[in-house]
Amino acid sequence: MLKEAVYHRPKNNWSYAYDRHTVHIRLRTKRGDVQRVQLIHGDKYNWQTVGAELTEMNVFAQDALFDYWQAAVKPPFRRLKYGFKLIDGDDQLWLDEQGFHESEPKSMNLYFEFPFLNAADVFEPPAWVKDAVFYQIFPERFANGDPSLDPVNVEPWGGEPTTSNFFGGDLQGVIDHLDHLTALGINAIYFNPLFEALTNHKYDTIDYLKVDPHFGTNEQLKKLVDACHARGIRVLLDAVFNHSGNEWPPFVDVREKGAESPYADWFHVREYPIGVKDGIPTYDAFAFVQHMPKLNTENEKVQAHLLEVARYWIEEIGVDGWRLDVANEVDHRFWRSFRDVVKRANPEAYILGEIWHDSLPWLAGDQFDAVMNYPFTEAVLDFAVRGTRDGKQFADLVGYLQAAYPQQATEAAFNLLGSHDTPRLLTLCNDDKRLMKLATAIQFTFSGTPCIYYGDEIGLSGGQDPGCRKCMPWEEDKQDLELFAFFSGLVSLRKNHRALKDGTYAVLHAEDGDRTLAYAREADGEKFIVALNASKRKETVTLPIGIDVAANVVFGDG
Amino acid sequence: MLKEAVYHRPKNNWSYAYDRHTVHIRLRTKRGDVQRVQLIHGDKYNWQTVGAELTEMNVFAQDALFDYWQAAVKPPFRRLKYGFKLIDGDDQLWLDEQGFHESEPKSMNLYFEFPFLNAADVFEPPAWVKDAVFYQIFPERFANGDPSLDPVNVEPWGGEPTTSNFFGGDLQGVIDHLDHLTALGINAIYFNPLFEALTNHKYDTIDYLKVDPHFGTNEQLKKLVDACHARGIRVLLDAVFNHSGNEWPPFVDVREKGAESPYADWFHVREYPIGVKDGIPTYDAFAFVQHMPKLNTENEKVQAHLLEVARYWIEEIGVDGWRLDVANEVDHRFWRSFRDVVKRANPEAYILGEIWHDSLPWLAGDQFDAVMNYPFTEAVLDFAVRGTRDGKQFADLVGYLQAAYPQQATEAAFNLLGSHDTPRLLTLCNDDKRLMKLATAIQFTFSGTPCIYYGDEIGLSGGQDPGCRKCMPWEEDKQDLELFAFFSGLVSLRKNHRALKDGTYAVLHAEDGDRTLAYAREADGEKFIVALNASKRKETVTLPIGIDVAANVVFGDG
């Protein structure tokens, strides 16, 4: 048994409360290296009298190098002391906090601890998220429902998007097209920013408490939210709290008054007067973007304002949560206060961070419920679209990701295949709808809530920003209705089967150099076999399925 | 290069802000397996234009299986994107978030991130802790300064301690003997609980806002704290917030009124009426101890009371911090609020958790400044006292511990060799003072603040509780003055040399089966060589020291 490969360290993704009664314990070993792992566990305060229990651990995920083992235990007094026994043939190893032992440790003193399962620390994403299918709307480009609100320089609907032009999309447009969303079957909307700002993307906020006048009013948003709720659709807004816009009044004041401004400490100014030197703002900004000054979220007045914003839109307007822009660059301390305020306003609100990379530090239950799952996006695109990852490599990366987070984070992950920040899926597929369907089929049959980027479902194309922000075409002859039927079919399939939401996941076929892939999802006595072929020719795959299975082909070419 | 041995995952002990400008990045490899590791790093927003930097990483710690590499970088815009290049002869490997690559990744997109160094998240233990030498006082047994306060059933000073008897120690006794502490040279006291309680150890609080009448009054504690401060001695109190005592009025009320009590939710009651069934309280308790009901720290009123306690003793009485009893069983959420209150009351206050096992989840800057470093205790006792760990095994365990936490946690660790919860050091040494001195010399020449358990310095002995809680003998003929001189010499040595506090640490000699050990501590151009012999005979050790060194023997037999 390769000792160097074995990993366990309490908390994070290795030991955590799955719910208020259950602790998950995980261990990593070299792939295929260890036959059995047993969890030795008990209550440290009665271990001497009652003794320990043994629970067999199971391999729940694998990647290129490792097997990941898991056991779920329900400690009667919510305290857990535990060690591991690794077995391979005649070899046995015990693992405790001091490392490996060739024989069973005489004392449990040095075993690992999950000291107490306190309910306050349990990571509980809202239950509805598992049942959600999201739809992302870039408001300036979805539908123009009220031309009287158009910017003066508005261009005709359907023109070529640039970084700075406007087409007049607004809230009334969304209200007018809710039937489209209902027909598609989605039950949650994620809106890109709606608050007053100068740009077409509105990530440069001027007023955090006011809907952009080109989009509508706060009252109209409330009407939209109510209309959505009446259809069973939840609404998520974009919180741009890392930075403000150039014209946000506090920043205007600092620009004018310099260090004398009462708002000077609301930002991170390195040098006055504020400006740009050699292409670099003299204050911290998002990237080096002059018109997006980074907010000092350590300042108590900035905190108070942003937390009031967080509360206002949930309590007064009824929105169901927040997507947090550039979430990884804001301090953890602020996000903890943010979670407190949001969950107090609505315990069922969803908090979704924009983080493109490893997100464990935000997914411990004290900050976010989920992140935008771009590592999953990359895995799917590599396998199904780019062909740069074979079935084995896809399964390995997905296996790694499943072991990388607590299970509830995987279940509440936000699985997207494109957004306002990436080229559109169809364009990545070189307009090959078969590849697009393959990728989308994976997205909808995996743990984590899928999100459709507006227009993908009717064949909208477009490259990297601004190309991916085209106007939604509403004439039926400009919509790919066959694709729409595919999407709505997937949405319906997923919504009606728990196996596809939080069912178990098992890889059935994933081989080196082979672009086919098969996996199973199972729950409630129902089992789905997902068999995929990303190669250019027909393939036959033999799957290890019991012979008594009564199988129905529910989707695909059979 | 053994891929399975390589470990890095952002945050925790692997990437963290050491101060407001510096990020430490660490990587683990199989011991002796890799010749060089380079950190490839830059700002993700100008990586394409400015490019990346390369920084050589150094092995800063080793254990039985692994080398631990570290680099310190100061990102100019506080954002860090980074990957690793591992080199062994002609072999090269690149590591990013998706794993290993045989050639340099074409894009930095999948490199790791330390997204932003926000000051609010920097873990900053109080600076004074590095300079501190603590002295732990068990108040009932240190000195009886005011017999008028004695419990009615007090026994003559110096009798055999039992779990329940009293000898009359009090605050006046401490005030009377501050000269002893000054002579010893310590500059911080950790008091076991002082608040009103029934037992002799006072871990069963009756009133969190009142000094136990057998010890004195709040005013007298303030007088004591002022007297300590005048001598440059800081004072730490014991916060018993996991559980209250049986006679705490809210618990009395629940015992009397059951579920109807307004305090019912202040505890975790499983069944009314509260009592004990088959030896198990019908409510959560510390261990299964009936007279220590666990507090519901999720209840806002409980929180408000305990946080007021935290504030009161710091702001009104002037104490310098808290030692937190059974800290690992209280929810993290409560400890975060606790830290906010304590640091607001005094930003320099020290927060020390009682945790016996791996403590990483509490040492990220949002909860504790340090924990009672029992894993270090075990390493020292195994090597110097029990003889169950040779020099190599000691160095390996200590190396593991150094890599296990952020550097500032190692520097602020609370290094003890015994306490009111363990047998006394001299007794563990079977009264062999040479072994005791060996262990203590290690304690005082390591990173982390040493703590002397009252009486150890004058040769007090005693086994496991209650034996370790004997009365301090004040007659000079009952004190081992030679031992006292040894202790005061070590205290003075440490206080006067930064190398012994937060200087670099390097193992010079640690071999399998060899009970000698040598290491170096270095800072400010000063280098200490600590050479130790835990065997029963004279040993000669050859150390790799430059020949030009002008060495002075500052301590020991030369």
Q: How far apart are CA B103 and CA B97, in angstroms?
A: 15
**Residue B372 confidence (pLDDT):** 95
Q: Which two tokens stand for residue A555?
A: 């989707």
The count of domains in chain A is 3
Which DSSP helix (H) or strand (E) runs through A505?
strand A504-509
Any domain includes B377: no
SS3 call for B14: coil
- pLDDT, tens only, B526-544: 999 999 999 988 888 888 7
pLDDT confidence tier of residue B488, bands split at 50, 70 and 90:
very high
How many CA atoms lie within 13 Å of B333's alpha carbon, on the beta-carbon side? 22
Of B88, B147, B101, B113, residue with least CA distance to B11 = B113
Chain A residues with CB under 8 Å of B334 CB are 120
Q: Is A343 on the interface with B (CB under 8 A)?
A: no
* Mean pLDDT of the A46-57 span: 96
CB atoms within 10 A of CB A363: 28
The residue from B96, B146, B204, B325 that is catalytic is B325
Any domain includes B550: no
How many CA atoms lie within 13 Å of B373's alpha carbon, on the beta-carbon side? 30
- pLDDT, tens only, B495-526: 999 999 999 999 999 999 999 999 999 999 99
Q: What is the CA radius of gyration of chain A?
A: 26
Any domain includes B84: yes
**Residue A15: DSSP 8-state:** E
- pLDDT, tens only, B242-265: 999 999 999 999 999 999 999 999
Chain B residues with CB under 8 Å of A400 CB are 99
Of A141, A166, A203, A230, residue with least CA distance to A474 = A141
Q: What is the ipTM of this complex?
A: 0.96
Residue A555 has pLDDT above 90, yes or no: no
Residue A10 to residue B119, Cβ atoms within 8 A: no
pLDDT confidence tier of residue B551, bands split at 50, 70 and 90:
low
A342 and A392 in one domain? Answer: yes
What CA–CA distances, in Å, run from A48 to A44, A85, A108? 8, 19, 9
Residue identified by tokens 């396998």 is A383
A179 and A37 in one domain? Answer: no
CB atoms within 10 A of CB B210: 13
Any domain includes B490: no
HEC secondary structure over B214-273: CCCCHHHHHHHHHHHHHCCCEEEEEECCCECCCCCHHHHHHHHHHHHCCCHHHECECCCC
Q: Is A298 on the interface with B (CB under 8 A)?
A: yes
- Chain A, residues 106-165, CB within 8 A of chain B, namely 109-110, 112-113, 115-116, 118-121
Of A294, A311, A331, the position where a domain reaches its end is A294
- pLDDT, tens only, A475-501: 999 999 999 999 999 999 999 999 999
A339 and A477 in one domain? Answer: yes
Residue A87 has pLDDT above 60, yes or no: yes
Which DSSP helix (H) or strand (E) runs through B183?
helix B178-184
Q: How far apart are CA A179 and CA A175, in angstroms?
A: 9
Q: How far apart are CA B313 and CA B345, in angstroms?
A: 10
* Mean pLDDT of the A401-410 span: 96
Residue A351 φ then ψ, to 5°: -120, 115
Q: How far apart are CA A429 and CA A439, in angstroms?
A: 10
In the beta sheet, which residues pair with residue B415? B450
Any domain includes A374: yes
B257 and B226 in one domain? Answer: no
| Catalytic residue ranges of A | 325, 354
Q: How far apart are CA A151 and CA A268, in angstroms?
A: 33
CB B411 within 8 A of CB B502: yes
- pLDDT, tens only, A261-276: 999 999 999 999 999 9
**Residue A536 confidence (pLDDT):** 86
Active site residue B325: yes
Of A136, A95, A88, A120, residue with least CA distance to A6 = A95
**Residue A551 confidence (pLDDT):** 62
SS3 call for A520: strand
Residue B549 has pLDDT above 70, yes or no: no
Q: Is B253 on the interface with A (CB under 8 A)?
A: no
Of B219, B218, B243, residue with least CA distance to B306 = B243
B248 and B224 in one domain? Answer: no
Q: Which two tokens stand for residue A272?
A: 């006055």
What CA–CA distances, in Å, run from B484 to A158, B243, B418, B452, B469? 87, 37, 17, 11, 19
Beta strands in A43-139, from DSSP E residues, in sequence order = 53-56, 58-62, 66-73, 80-88, 91-96, 99-101, 112-114, 134-137
Bond from prior residue into B466 cis (ω within 30 degrees of 0)? yes
B305 and B277 in one domain? Answer: no
- Average pLDDT of chain A is 96
Residue in B2, B3, B4 to test binding to A, most A beta-carbons within 10 Å: B4
CB B267 within 8 A of CB B261: no
Any domain includes A513: no
Any domain includes B200: yes
CB B46 within 8 A of CB B55: no
CB A545 within 8 A of CB A518: no
Q: How do strand A36-42 and strand B66-73 relate by DSSP bridges?
A: unpaired
pLDDT confidence tier of residue B558, bands split at 50, 70 and 90:
very low
A98 and A157 in one domain? Answer: no
A167 and A89 in one domain? Answer: no
Any domain includes B541: no
DSSP string over A334-355: HHHHHHHHHHHH-TT-EEEE--
Q: Is B331 on the interface with A (CB under 8 A)?
A: yes
CB A429 within 8 A of CB A39: no
HEC secondary structure over A441-487: HHHHCCCCEEEEECCHHHCCCCCCCCHHHCCCCCCHHHCCHHHHHHH
Residue A358 to residue B9, Cβ atoms within 8 A: yes
CB B508 within 8 A of CB B544: yes
B101 and B21 in one domain? Answer: yes
Of B50, B34, B9, B17, residue with least CA distance to B92 = B34
Chain B residues with CB under 8 Å of A109 CB are 356
B8 and B95 in one domain? Answer: yes
Q: What is the CATH number of the domain that holds A108?
A: 2.60.40.10
B262 and B218 in one domain? Answer: no
Q: Is A259 on the interface with B (CB under 8 A)?
A: no
**Residue A268 confidence (pLDDT):** 98
pLDDT confidence tier of residue A310, bands split at 50, 70 and 90:
very high
A148 and A102 in one domain? Answer: no
* Mean pLDDT of the B107-131 span: 97
Residue A259 has pLDDT above 70, yes or no: yes
Q: What is the CATH number of the domain that holds B276?
A: 3.90.400.10
**Helix, strand, coil proportions of chain A in percent (round to 5)?**
30, 25, 45
Per the structure, the complete domain to which residue A254 belongs is given by 243-294
Orientation of helix A300-315 relative to helix A332-345, angle to 10°: 30
Q: What is the CA radius of gyration of chain B?
A: 26
Q: What is the CATH number of the domain that holds A187?
A: 3.20.20.80
Which DSSP helix (H) or strand (E) runs through A235?
strand A234-239
Residue A358 to residue B116, Cβ atoms within 8 A: no
* Mean pLDDT of the A91-110 span: 95
- pLDDT, tens only, A27-47: 999 999 999 999 999 999 999
Residue A120 to residue B358, Cβ atoms within 8 A: no
**Residue A540 confidence (pLDDT):** 84
**Residue A354 confidence (pLDDT):** 96
**Residue A558 confidence (pLDDT):** 42
Q: How far apart are CA A400 and CA B99, in angstroms?
A: 10
Residue B120 to residue A331, Cβ atoms within 8 A: yes
Chain A residues with CB under 8 Å of B45 CB are 287-288
Residue A309 has pLDDT above 90, yes or no: yes
HEC secondary structure over B55-119: EECEEEEECCCEEEEEEEECCCCCCEEEEEEEEECCEEEEEECCEEECCCCCCCCCCEEECCCCH
CB B116 within 8 A of CB B78: yes
Q: How far apart are CA A92 and CA A34, in angstroms?
A: 10
Residue B297 to residue A65, Cβ atoms within 8 A: no
Looking at A531-535, B332-336, B414-418, which range is the least confident one? Answer: A531-535
- Average pLDDT of chain B is 96
